[in-house]
Structure 1
Amino acid sequence: MAYASVKDWLDRNPHRGFVADYDHDGQADEAVVARALEDASAEMDGWLARRYNTPVTDPQAVPILRQHCLVIATHLLADTPQANDQEIDGRYKRTIDFLKAIAKGDAKLPMQVSVSSTGKSSNVGVTFVTPERIFS
């Protein structure tokens, strides 16, 4: 599952024709973009899996993951002799730094917190309740 769609990439990169491997008709090769988004998501999951179950589907985390997925995919698509863009490289390095911080526990994704029936907050969907110990 990719954290961003081809439409997301096309909407945010209207002037990156040299990056998207455009066909002869002037349209972006959507299969190439989709593959880059899948590869970017897999790279992200490699970092995120250290702290979260992947793929991360929490609605509060999705927007930030989409943003970073688009940055990595653009970097992957720009890996050509025609595209030497320092802005793309800088964004990619900042994204990787963010993912490294998550893996180390120095940064967190925004996540919804559910409240269990006991009133305690929990990030898990299952709560186990056991009776009190009878024997010590």
Structure 2
Amino acid sequence: MTERRRAAAVIVRDGRVLMVRERSLGPSGRHDGLEYWTLPGGGIADGETPEEAVRREVEEEVGLTPLSTRYLIDVPYPSGLTACFAVTVADGEPRVGHDELPCDCPSLVSVDWVPLPPVSPETMGAPIPTMIVVWPTH
């Protein structure tokens, strides 16, 4: 794992969490690699706080306006430690955005609301995946 710090948004609506589908670079050097679902988020820029980064990433990646953020937890992620925030957003439907980053980063493919699995009352929490790999079928 690299030392790049990230911030990610946990946005829950009607028992579903908003996830972004991304495609990584493949052997050709183009965005034809492994696809995976992940929470909206990305790198924290120099001079930016994790909260500022998560707000920016939500607007850039899914086109929603953050109303409030609450820090949840730091979790390991393949590209670096990620600060996860519970984020409430203004009404509206998410859309695939774009990052103005060099092509050595994942490419956004789609966004969707993923159902949350049921939680036992004893755990008092919701299981939120930070990344779900989409394994090739061939």
Specify the TM-score bucket, using the shorter chain as the normaliser: under 0.3
TM-score (norm 1): 0.25
State the TM-score, normalized to the length of structure 2. Answer: 0.24
Larger strand fraction of residues: 2
Whose radius of gyration is greater, 1 or 2?
Answer: 1
Q: Could you say which structure has the higher helix fraction?
A: 1
